[in-house]
Chains A and B, each alone.
Chain A
Amino acid sequence: MIKSIWHWIQRFSSPKHFYGMSAKLIPWFTVSALLVGLYGLYLGLFVAPTDYQQGESYRIIFIHVPAAWMSLFVYMVMAISSGIGIIWQIRLADMVAAASAPIGASFAFLALVTGSLWGKPMWGAYWVWDARLTSELILLFLYFGYMALQSAIEDQRSADKASGLLAIVGVVNITIIHYSVEWWNTLHQGATVAKFDKPSMHIDMLIPLLLMALAFKLFYAAVVLVRTRNEALYRDRNRRWVRELINEL
């Protein structure tokens, strides 16, 4: 029983099978990301009421917070699939992890810049050592470390395993970092951060926020599939299925 499941997983996770299947999934993710995103933008920019404290500037929240959530989510995906790759030797999982890194890093960057653009009118400075911004910056560094290690090791297999292990260590650390930065921040700044916090959010603001977060995740799903396909093509470039595929193009 277990053996047959194992066979099934292996067949299912073969790059060749994935390549064929993902082609059918990508359009669905792309279209749904676009639709959900446009609807979320419409609600966020036109329907959601003006914030009584921050005026219109709070509308940055509809991209800043989803971007920050996404960067963390992608890091988790990276660590989990790295773990699967290391423990069960599933190559597809390694490919997903490697494909995720640039996407996650770009959204961590987006979260940082939009955060500082939001901070300027709120705090009067582009950069304040706010707990969440600082954590986000460290997350970006973790992404850089992952990508640097991945590209520094020539042998693909050990590059995957090494950077995968780093991603897993990073996840253990993220929680500690998050906690310690939060604690450090309350010590040094206290009240300034409170402005960012919305104890209870108006439902008309919350819905577009969640919609945008969903749209970002769908977008990630589409892009990571395209990138994983690239990885599969490149890594299997000397195998028959890729050769046959290329000859057909």
Chain B
Amino acid sequence: MNWSEFFHMGGYAFYVWTSYALTLVIVVANIVSPLLQRRKIIARIKRAIKRENIELAKSHE
């Protein structure tokens, strides 16, 4: 079996490769989205800490 035959998939290339491509998209999305979510959460908590520190400093003045 050579490569062009492999990619041809016996005439079903469109269906087979679209399926596999979509799987790749879903897998990548499942990896990327929690990582982005993590970043957002950490940034948010950092901001909250900063704000609290400012308020704390103000109340001491």
Q: Which of B12-58 contact A (CB under 8 A)?
A: 12, 15-16, 18-20, 22-23, 26-27, 29-31, 33-35, 37-38, 41-42, 44-46, 48-49
Chain B: interface size category: 20 to 34
A138 an interface residue at 8 Å Cβ cutoff?
no
Q: Does the CB pair A246–B23 fall under 8 Å? A: no
A67 an interface residue at 8 Å Cβ cutoff?
yes
How many chain-A residues does the 8 Å CB contact rule pick out? Answer: 37
B22 in complex: contacting residue of A50, A114, A223, CB < 8 Å: A114
List chain A positions with a Cβ less than 8 A from chain B. Answer: 45-46, 50, 55-57, 59-60, 63-64, 67, 102-103, 106-107, 109-110, 113-114, 117-118, 120-121, 219, 223, 226-227, 229-230, 233-234, 237, 242-243, 246-247, 249
A-B contact pairs, 20 of them (CB 8 A): A55-B10, A56-B9, A59-B16, A63-B20, A64-B19, A67-B23, A106-B29, A117-B15, A117-B19, A118-B15, A219-B27, A226-B34, A233-B41, A233-B45, A234-B41, A237-B41, A237-B45, A243-B49, A246-B45, A246-B46
